[in-house]
Structure 1
Amino acid sequence: MKATIERATLLKSLGHVQSVVERRNTIPILSNVLIEASGDPVSGASGLRLMATDLDLQIVESATAHVDQPGATTVSAHTLFDIVRKLPEGAQVELTVAEGKMTVVAGRARFNLATLPRDDFPVIAEGELPTHFTLPVAVLRQIIDKTRFAISSEETRYYLNGIFVHVSEEGGQPVLRAAATDGHRLARVTVPQPQGAAGMPDVIVPRKCVAELRKLVDEADGDVEISLSSSKIRFSLGGAVLTSKLIDGTFPDYSRVIPTANDRLLRIDSKSLSNGVDRVSTIASEKTRAVKLALDRDKVTLSVTSPENGRAEEEVAAVYASEPFEIGFNARYLMDILGQIESEEVEVHLADAAAPTLIREGEKSPALYVLMPMRV
């Protein structure tokens, strides 16, 4: 194999594939990236195909390159990425494979790297993916950003370690919904159901797949092609194809925790509330991170009391007409939600100090959030 590729092109592709590779592997070849060089002498089209996997998640990236000699090999993903990252900008990188070694040459720099046979590289068998639809990149980015912060990191509740995606109905209209929860907060986004999504199985997309997908949508535009079955999902965007196993579990019926009768309405500037919570929580203990909201007519008093550090208090102007009461929240959870609010004003629908609180931008907002209170 012999190919020449621009440093920037190779670095971008390696950046996508190497982050799928785990730093510690008991199976040596899983530390490697598969590089295939192919050229069509008739059309003149040639390029590299890079693939990495952790056996649950697989990414394939295509990059334009000049191929002198087609071939394939596998080489350490992190090592090659670090080498290319440190090469000078604008460099042409020559990759040559012979006698079980890969030679990387750029200008006066030369590296010899150990390789493993291409035939030993595992590939995820996709099987049939009967459901197929497309989403605009901007919509997929919105779905990820507004839900992923609520994904649980508790491994014992593995079925919460991802984003739950399913089809539903709202006001007689078919919709696609994405939700995530860790038991303390819930995030849900609703978008119009794309053509082809009707009848799709309910799926839970794992946290790592969501993280890798988010990196890809940052650098893409246009549409994302999504194909899925009850056990696998595939995203195709730009020059990349990301395939992942789905979480085999049942997501809880989250609709039961979304309050519908919270009759105390607080309207408040989202940035003022977030900044106020951030300031007073500076003295909160790391363990609880609790902040108290005392609601009174047209104002909210934020306070934190810490046995070790003392007390902090801040008053924020608001629109509130119900009877005064106090409620406590985890400051970090509340700020995570407020960080997703795009409008200046946020609606906070409350019931009492022990009931779930509903937070949203407005009735027509595609996203809503539920936050469980804390005892303070």
Structure 2
Amino acid sequence: MKLTIERSALLKALSHVQSVVEKRNTIPILSNVQIEAADGQLTLTATDLDLAIVEHTGADIAQDGATTVPAHTLHDIVRKLPDGAQVGLSLNDRTLTLNAGRSRFTLACLPREDFPVMSAGELPHRFTLPATQMKRLIDKTRFAISTEETRYYLNGIYLHVAEGEKGSTLRAVATDGHRLAQVEVALPDGAAGMPGIIIPRKTVQEIRKHLDEFEGEIGIELSDTKILFRFAHAVVTSKLIDGTFPDYSRVIPEGNDRLLKISCEEFSEAVDRVSTISSDKSRSVKLALETDKIMLSVTSPENGTATEELAADYGAEAMEIGFNSRYLLDILDQVEGDEVEARLADSASPTVMRDGADESALYVLMPMRV
């Protein structure tokens, strides 16, 4: 194998694939990235056995060939090379030599035959989704993905077809038991018969990185156990979480009759300010609602107290409720309109929050005792 490639092209492809590789691996080959030169392009493949990324990039191929080298080491070397450098890669027996300007590196290789191939299998459900819509489904929900490994079925985004007043939609839901995020987009052609699937947190993170640099349609293929995302120069294949997502509709309250409307920016900044005084992990903030105003307060035994009053549109009877300020801010960060709407019942019941400018997104936040 012998080839020449521009540093920026190699770095871009490597940065996508190396993030799949775990820092510590008990199986040495999983620390490596597979490099294959053929048909005028360089193909990089990385996997952790649950998730695989194959990325293609143009290169000047003098001799075809393939091998595997340590992913993080190669990425660090290329990252530290000067901008605009031409990188030469050549394979000699079991070592890969990298030349760039006056720099020369020799890396130990492992045989390509030992590299695991993750087969997608039969993927009967196929559709395309604009990158902007995929980005929206991820960004509006991923903050609520659970990190508790014991409730593994909550460690991802639940993607499924939902029936509503406006017909069928493609809906994404994530929850960690403290808050829930739900957003939907128009149902793409071909998605009608798809099963409800749970896309793992790590896969969601990798897909989101690709979306930053991609515009256009993403090809999505899936079965009950696997999903494949097809970009212009990359293919991401992932196992799905083997579990049943809970019936989340039961935690979305229907009868919350106290409506609060408030400027999202002012509310967010005020919550952030008063929670500075809080020292405990929960960072609880108390909201006292009265006619057309809201009082935020935080009390910390070590640091003191903080209060702030805000004007708001509220006409129901006075009430107090407490929230985790971090969770509240996470939801407010997703609101794109000027105003956020909150529907409350009482201090012990979940609150429903919506973006005043976006009906397709809904958030549920559990209260705290303060």
TM-score range, shorter chain: over 0.9
Identity of aligned residues (%): 65
2:255 to 249, 254, 261: 261
| Corresponding residue number in structure 2 for 1:349 | 343
Q: CA deviation at 1:80?
A: 0.5
- The question of whether the paired residues in 2 share the 8 Å contact of 1:290 and 1:329 is answered with yes
- The question of whether the paired residues in 2 share the 8 Å contact of 1:167 and 1:193 is answered with yes
1:361 to 352, 355, 358: 355
2:300 to 295, 301, 306: 306
Structural mapping, 1:212-361, within 5 Å:
212-361=206-355
AA aligned opposite 2:105: F
Structural mapping, 1:102-251, within 5 Å:
102-251=96-245
1:94 to 88, 91, 106: 88
User: SS of 2:219's equivalent?
Assistant: strand
Q: CA deviation at 1:114?
A: 0.3
Q: CA deviation at 1:148?
A: 0.3
| Corresponding residue number in structure 2 for 1:14 | 14
User: SS of 1:81's equivalent?
Assistant: helix
| Corresponding residue number in structure 1 for 2:31 | 31
Cα distance in 2, alignment partners of residues 34 and 258 from structure 1: 46
Cα distance in 1, alignment partners of residues 356 and 267 from structure 2: 17
User: SS of 2:24's equivalent?
Assistant: coil
Cα distance in 1, alignment partners of residues 43 and 275 from structure 2: 49
Q: CA deviation at 1:331?
A: 0.3
Please, what is the CA RMSD of the aligned residues?
Answer: 0.9
- The question of whether the paired residues in 1 share the 8 Å contact of 2:220 and 2:229 is answered with yes
Q: CA deviation at 1:172?
A: 4.9
- The question of whether the paired residues in 1 share the 8 Å contact of 2:35 and 2:45 is answered with yes
Cα distance in 2, alignment partners of residues 218 and 365 from structure 1: 25
Cα distance in 2, alignment partners of residues 286 and 128 from structure 1: 50
TM-score normalised by length of structure 2: 0.99
User: SS of 1:116's equivalent?
Assistant: coil
What is the CA deviation profile of residues 36-93 of structure 1, one whole-angstrom value per residue up to 9, with x for unaligned ones? 0002xxxxxx110000000000000000001000000000000000000011100110
Q: CA deviation at 1:288?
A: 2.2
- The question of whether the paired residues in 2 share the 8 Å contact of 1:95 and 1:104 is answered with yes
Asked if 1:53 is matched to 2:51, the reply is no
What is the CA deviation profile of residues 130-182 of structure 1, one whole-angstrom value per residue up to 9, with x for unaligned ones? 00011100000011000000000000000000000110111151111100000
| Corresponding residue number in structure 2 for 1:42 | none
What is the CA deviation profile of residues 332-360 of structure 1, one whole-angstrom value per residue up to 9, with x for unaligned ones? 00000000000010001111101110000
- The question of whether the paired residues in 1 share the 8 Å contact of 2:337 and 2:358 is answered with no
- The question of whether the paired residues in 2 share the 8 Å contact of 1:221 and 1:238 is answered with no
- The question of whether the paired residues in 1 share the 8 Å contact of 2:20 and 2:52 is answered with yes
Aligned pair in 2 of structure 1 residues 267, 172: CA closer, same or farther (>3 Å)?
A: closer
What is the CA deviation profile of residues 285-317 of structure 1, one whole-angstrom value per residue up to 9, with x for unaligned ones? 222211000001111100001111111000111
What is the CA deviation profile of residues 160-207 of structure 1, one whole-angstrom value per residue up to 9, with x for unaligned ones? 000001101111511111000000000001111100001101100000
- The question of whether the paired residues in 2 share the 8 Å contact of 1:16 and 1:216 is answered with yes
User: SS of 1:301's equivalent?
Assistant: strand
**Segments ≥4 residues shifted beyond 6 Å:** none
Cα distance in 1, alignment partners of residues 282 and 192 from structure 2: 43
Unpaired runs of 5+ in structure 2? Answer: none
Q: CA deviation at 1:363?
A: 8.1
- The question of whether the paired residues in 2 share the 8 Å contact of 1:169 and 1:175 is answered with yes
Asked if 1:5 is matched to 2:5, the reply is yes
Aligned pair in 2 of structure 1 residues 287, 364: CA closer, same or farther (>3 Å)?
A: closer
Cα distance in 1, alignment partners of residues 302 and 334 from structure 2: 32
- The question of whether the paired residues in 2 share the 8 Å contact of 1:100 and 1:114 is answered with yes
AA aligned opposite 1:235: F
AA aligned opposite 2:272: D
AA aligned opposite 1:36: E
User: SS of 2:132's equivalent?
Assistant: helix
Cα distance in 1, alignment partners of residues 280 and 13 from structure 2: 39
User: SS of 2:10's equivalent?
Assistant: helix
Q: CA deviation at 1:118?
A: 0.5
Q: CA deviation at 1:101?
A: 0.4
Cα distance in 1, alignment partners of residues 357 and 8 from structure 2: 45
- The question of whether the paired residues in 1 share the 8 Å contact of 2:227 and 2:240 is answered with yes
AA aligned opposite 1:193: L
- Number of aligned residue pairs: give it: 370
